[in-house]
Structure 1
Amino acid sequence: MKRVAPPPQRRLVTALDVGSSKVSALIAEPGEGGELRILGTGQRESRGVKRGFIADMERTEAAIREAVEQAERIAATNVEQVFVGFSAGGLISTVASVEVEIGGRRVEKHDIDALLTVGRDSISPDGRMILHATPALYTLDGLQGVKKPLGLHADKLAVDIHVIAAEPSPVRNLDLCVRSAHLGVEAIVASPVAAGKACLSEEERELGVALVELGAGVTNVSVFAGGMLVGLKSIAIGGRDITDDIAAAFGTRRVDAERMKCFYGSATTSPRDNHDMIELSPMGGGEEGAEATRITRAQLIHVIRQRLEQLMNEIADALKELGFAGPFGRQVVITGGGSDLKGMADYAQGVLGRAVRVGRPRMPGLPEAHSGPAFATLAGLAQFAASNELDLRQVAAPGHAPVKPTGGGVVQRLISAFRSSY
């Protein structure tokens, strides 16, 4: 009797975004051309995460389990491994440069392998946990911005390796939460890396762009140049702070303050704001028969803009600190749930003095409920999972030189390298 071969096992990727306001999951199947077919999504309120850090293990574990189970039911499949987004502060982005001599002959594959091995061994975590160690631009005898050195002649071959590291404890807590929900962790991915994949075009990442993720508890500011993330900074302010400001200013519950922000809030003003009235739901429910309290839309927007002014000033300081200035520091993309606030792009453009657009995930087939900027990290995680990017993540061998942080100069160097390569 002829034995029938079992059907080939489907390759699925599962993304899990554990944020301060929501936990969301996405199951997708990569196609032959690299496109992703969305099979199922799930979402639960996040009650155990503050400022991107795990604050309540049990609540976070329950939300993870429920979000993934919902996605599994829709996809009619079970998953075992997930790619997890890390959005807490404390991320460090550095660029390490390493070089090897090859004596003027053609670059062979073993030369590139040897170079990457040297690069891997030169990375020192310095007490942090390495999330990404990705080879970016190659340099041949001083010519920067070479993407594919294989087959070219050179005396010296060098490479820039982009390293993103985080404090170990928050990463371990996130990893433990996911594993406690009976899921394996394929990789923990820095949120700016994932969001950049979802929202930015390849040309934007090459020529220079700043990505601002306005999350519920944390705002991540990252700068891309030469096709990679070259600097980032976290700000401990998010959309939930605006909600809390509204709740405190008008004596209402957080859930009602969030509703007011979403339906009536805006980052920009208009003459009608003084005439549009909003009915308040009092904190304790109010006395029976008492007249409902009302405020003008202008009062609500005034509270929102006070917090936005503080946030935008910190974003501007972060961009300056990251060296995002000059002729290439003109394009800013805002994403995350906070960018959904009405008029946010216009307000940011006026304050920052740069062109600003809202970044939405570039992924066909996303359900409408998950296609907004609040789900950029989730979509980017799935794209990262399907991309199979080369990563040199390893703890460095002792005794090697550590990776030294680079300032704003690396941005200009990478951009000029890519422009000169056209």
Structure 2
Amino acid sequence: MPPTTGRKLVTALDVGSSKVSALIAEPDEGGALRILGTGQRESHGVKRGFVADMERTEATIREAVEQAERIAGTNIDDVYVGFSAGGLVSTVASVEVEIGGRRIEMHDIDDLLGAGRNSINPESRMILHALPALYTLDGLTGVKKPLGLHANRLAVDIHVIAAEPSPVRNLDLCVRSAHLGVEAIVASPVAAGKACLSEEERELGVALVELGAGVTNVSVFAGGMLVGLKSLAMGGIDITDDIAATFGTRRVEAERMKCFYGSAMTSPRDNHDMIDIAPIAGVEDGAEAIRITRAQLIAVIRQRLDHLMGEIAAALKDFGFTGPFGRQVVLTGGGSELKGMADYAQGVLGRAVRIGRPKMPGLPEAHSGPAFATLAGLAQFAASGELDLRTIATPETTVRKSDGGSLVQRMISVFRTNY
């Protein structure tokens, strides 16, 4: 295969609990991505988003990337890697400098951002993102482009996402052991938000719930940035395991039942539709096949979903995502593909719910569903060239941190006041 010399390519790598997927794309002059190749393998060695078996994870990564390379007809060297394990924390820091009433020049903005970079306290965590969002001029919040304006004081809100160091280092080591360079490790909610949410949704206020196989990430966007994040150590795998344990069948059979017959909503026909289950011992070993009603299957699914949705509702309440503004919820991830999931979540949460699919032209049909939102978002993040304060270092100043609960209403207020 030809090398990538002279071509600007971006490669996304999503290492999840159920699958490892890769995507190679080429940005055009306008920033749009042309998909060159994709690859996917069943995940081995990853549990709840954490690397549990280094060798098996490395082998799966290599296979997924090699498949994408074969389809793209090229070799890649560096990847943007998604991180979806628990332990992610999100804060917003405000940094301010004196301008003295003159026009704001580029070096003023550079000094402000550099000060913000040095003022971030990771508190023993590893910073994945430090992204500048909205500027404030003399108390006027929500300014996007302060260059050339006059002000006495210039401030900026910085969106910081950090993670526990060990899981990040383990993931980084697995990717590098597969002979790939790591351009950046990107928090899954950042990538999924870029793929599924419109700019207006992120401004007005929206909750993004990623229903993954082993982890569910609940994040809240307002004022254009992510202002609240919580990881729940449960997901679609738990539903599969509940089905397998309840009806005494293998996990692969339980997963098939969930996908083909499962639903989050009930119907009058459920008591009449029958499902044949292969026993865990196998019919060839003398075990008898089992028949259950679809209603029995849905009852098991609903029991786990009720618990999970209760945790999601509690997280949204902790973030202050309530009242007339906390109305929009977007579900993404493989778990959102369960039949009736949006209607079920809407009834439980009491909010408008839609399924978030990646908005990227040219995605193969097999990779265009919500299960691949993070993968598509990683490629979009890579091509966007977003400014990250981790690469800047200049003088220190004071940083003011706010807690996530009040931030939601504050950022929504910023948008409504200034736009």
* Alignment TM-score, normalising by the size of structure 1: 0.96
**Aligned residue pairs, count:** 416
Which structure 2 segments of 5+ residues have no match?
none
Give, as a single letter, the amino acid of the residue that structure 1 aligns with 2:96.
E
- Please point out which of 173, 176, 180 is paired with 2:177: 180
Shift in Å at residue 370 of structure 1? 0.3
- Letter of the structure 2 residue corresponding to residue 233 of structure 1: K
Conserved? CA contact 1:125–1:395, under 8 Å: no
Cα deviation for residue 412 of structure 1 reads 1.2
Judge conservation of contact 2:281–2:287 (CA < 8 Å) in 1: no
Q: Contact 2:279/2:288 (CA < 8 Å) preserved in 1?
A: no
* Alpha-carbon separation, structure 2, partners of 1:110 and 1:397: 11
Equivalent residue for 2:358? 361
1:420 deviation in Å?
1.5
Amino acid at match of 1:307: R
State which of 134, 158, 180 in structure 1 corresponds to 2:155.
158
Partner of 2:112: 115
Where does 1:79-158 land on structure 2 (aligned, <5 Å)? 79-158=76-155
Post-superposition shift, 1:33? 1.1
Q: Is 2:289 the counterpart of 1:283?
A: no
Aligned equivalents of 2:398, 2:180: Cα separation in 1: 36
The CA RMSD over aligned residues, in Å, is 1.7
Structure 1 residue corresponding to 2:231, chosen from 227, 231, 234: 234
Q: Is the 8 A contact 2:358 2:372 kept in 1?
A: yes
| Aligned-partner Cα distance in 2 for 1:113–1:401 | 16
- Aligned letter for 2:338? L
Correspondence 1:23-422 to 2 at 5 A: 23-287=20-284, 292-393=289-390, 404=401, 406-422=403-419
* Equivalent-residue separation in structure 2 for 1:8 and 1:256 (angstroms): 46
Distance 1:91 1:403 in 2: 20
> How far did 1:186 drift?
0.1
Question: What letter corresponds to residue 53 of structure 2 in structure 1?
Answer: D
Q: Distance in 2 between matches of 1:34 and 1:73?
A: 24
Secondary structure (helix, strand or coil) at the match of 2:264 reads: coil
Matching residue's letter, 2:111: A
Gaps of 5+ in 1: 1-6
Alpha-carbon distance in structure 2 between the residues aligned to 1:51 and 1:397: 38
Q: Residues 32 and 46 of structure 1: is their aligned pair in 2 closer, same or farther, counting only changes over 3 Å?
A: same
Shifted more, 410-419 versus 349-358: the winner is 410-419
- 8 A Cα contact 1:124 1:403, kept in partner: no
Cα 1:277/1:69, change in 2 over 3 Å: same
1:279-333 deviations in Å (ceiling 9; x for gaps): 0011011356765321100000000000000000000000011111111100000
From 15, 19, 36, the counterpart of 1:18? 15
- Give the distance between the partners of 1:96 and 1:89, measured in 2 at CA: 22
The letter for the 1-side match of 2:219 is: S
Report if aligned partners of 2:264, 2:340 keep a CA contact under 8 Å in 1: yes
CA distance change for structure 1 residues 93 and 392 in 2, over 3 Å: closer, same or farther?
A: same
